[in-house]
Amino acid sequence: MVEDLLVKGDLKGMTQDEIISLLGEPEQRITSPVPQFVYYLGRAGLGVDDLLFKLQFDANGKLESHEITHD
């Protein structure tokens, strides 16, 4: 689902409220050193790592960057 979202539309510049309206409440909100939302996508690979969708916001609360990571 997230991959489709990234291919079909550019999320960059969306506000935190717009992201929540689109994806729901994040599993984690990080405030320091920069505001981030973290969404849990499930297990990755052999089920050892978590697959996470991380969104980083600028000082104005607009989406600056995003990535899918394995933690």
Domains of the chain in start order, with CATH, are 2-70 (3.30.1450.10)
pLDDT digit of tens for each residue in the chain (71 aa)?
A: 566 666 566 889 999 999 999 999 999 999 999 999 999 998 876 767 889 999 999 999 999 999 989 87
Rounded Cα gap, residues 37 and 55, in angstroms: 5
pLDDT at 40: 94
3-state SS track over the chain: CHHHHHHHCCCCCCEHHHHHHHHCCCCEEECCCCCEEEEEEEEECCCCEEEEEEEEECCCCEEEEEEEEEC
